[in-house]
Amino acid sequence: MAGHSKWANIKHRKAKSDAVKGRIFTKIAREILVAARTGGADPNGNFRLKIAIENAKAANMPNDNINRAIQKGVGDGEGTNYEELRYEGYGPGGVAIMAQVLTDNRNRTAGEMRHLFSKNGGNLGESGCVSWMFAEKGQITVSKEETKNNEDDLLLLALEAGAEDVEIQEESYEIFTLSSNMEDVRQALLDSDISIQEATINLIPINKTEISDIDQARKVIKLIDLMEEHDDVQKVYTNFDLSDSLMDEDL
């Protein structure tokens, strides 16, 4: 069972303010649209769409928004066609950074990603330059505040259902599975009346790069924030983590 990830704790706190800005609805709607377009409008036969809808509901996205995104996705080719791409590179301190994007203009997005990297102490690399540092995993987030189970019961349930690891954060439990097992673990939690904040397939760093210099840490966080604010970016993956010496610093 993994311990605390300092950067993960900061990300969870920052996510609350991100949600207020409304960007999360735009990104979820785009994911629903693409999931419906590629796999059909029936969530029972389209796992990607099913997860996207459930994440939308967990974020309190109105049903009308969800339904509009689905209809746009299956609208016989009408509307915007999004291309799924990944941009990979290195940030300050040599941390690996990978952005998953949905874009309607590959050339525009490539230029903007290159600019973000170079302007903020990093460099955009070739495809595959850092992806080998990550493994595809299912990741299920359970709020400590909302779960009725005590910690031991929750961990045992998750592991018995097929989870590989559980990481304990300040406000949540992060449950990691093989991507092929995520639905089994997710359903086992739901069957036990455990509320799930988010369930998704993510790229998890195999090894983390710890930063102990406060200026470098701030630069890395700034670059990640700017990438996450970009309209085309759905997710940002990094192997960045903070050293214990920076935990009490204002980042």
Q: Which residues contact 225 (CB under 8 A, 6 or more apart)?
A: 14
Range of the domain at 223: 83-132+208-242
127 and 214 fall within a common domain: yes
186 and 139 fall within a common domain: yes
Distance of alpha carbon 88 from alpha carbon 131, whole angstroms: 7
DSSP secondary structure letters along 18-40: HHHTTHHHHHHHHHHHHHHHHH-
Distance of alpha carbon 13 from alpha carbon 10, whole angstroms: 5
pLDDT in tens, 44-86: 999 999 999 998 998 889 999 999 999 988 885 566 788 999 9
* pLDDT computed for residue 147 by the predictor: 76
Q: Report the CATH number at residue 142.
A: 3.30.70.980
Distance of alpha carbon 200 from alpha carbon 69, whole angstroms: 19
Per the structure, the count of domains in the chain is: 3
198 and 147 fall within a common domain: yes
pLDDT in tens, 82-103: 899 999 999 999 999 999 999 9
Distance of alpha carbon 13 from alpha carbon 181, whole angstroms: 28
As a whole number, the mean pLDDT across the chain is 87
pTM of the model: 0.85
Beta strands, E only, the chain: 83-90, 96-103, 123-124, 134-143, 165-168, 172-178, 198-205, 209-211, 233-238, 240-242
Closest alpha carbon to 211 in 173, 169, 239 = 239
* pLDDT computed for residue 1 by the predictor: 47
Distance of alpha carbon 55 from alpha carbon 58, whole angstroms: 5
Closest alpha carbon to 198 in 136, 137, 140, 138 = 140
170 and 223 fall within a common domain: no
Is there a domain that residue 107 lies in? yes
Instruction: Say whether pLDDT at 3 is over 60.
Output: no
147 and 27 fall within a common domain: no
Is there a domain that residue 68 lies in? yes
**Cβ proximity of 142 and 109 under 8 Å:** no
250: exposed, middle or buried (C-beta count within 10 Å: 0-12, 13-18, 19+)? Answer: exposed
Distance of alpha carbon 136 from alpha carbon 204, whole angstroms: 6
149 and 175 fall within a common domain: yes
pLDDT band of residue 206 (cuts 50, 70, 90) is very high
Torsion, Cα of 7, 29, 36, 53 (10° steps): 70
DSSP run (H or E) holding 107: helix 106-119
Categorise residue 122: left if φ over 0, alpha if ψ from -120 to 50, beta otherwise: beta
**Cβ proximity of 97 and 88 under 8 Å:** yes
109 and 139 fall within a common domain: no
21 and 121 fall within a common domain: no
47 and 58 fall within a common domain: yes
pLDDT band of residue 184 (cuts 50, 70, 90) is very high
Residue found under tokens 């090894």: 207
Q: Report the CATH number at residue 22.
A: 1.10.10.200
For residue 111 the two structure tokens come to 């230029």
16 and 137 fall within a common domain: no
pLDDT in tens, 98-131: 999 999 999 999 999 999 999 999 999 999 999 9
Categorise residue 168: left if φ over 0, alpha if ψ from -120 to 50, beta otherwise: beta
Is there a domain that residue 12 lies in? yes
* pLDDT computed for residue 247 by the predictor: 72
DSSP-based three-state secondary structure for 99 = strand
118 and 216 fall within a common domain: yes
**Which DSSP letter does residue 173 get?**
E
11 and 56 fall within a common domain: yes
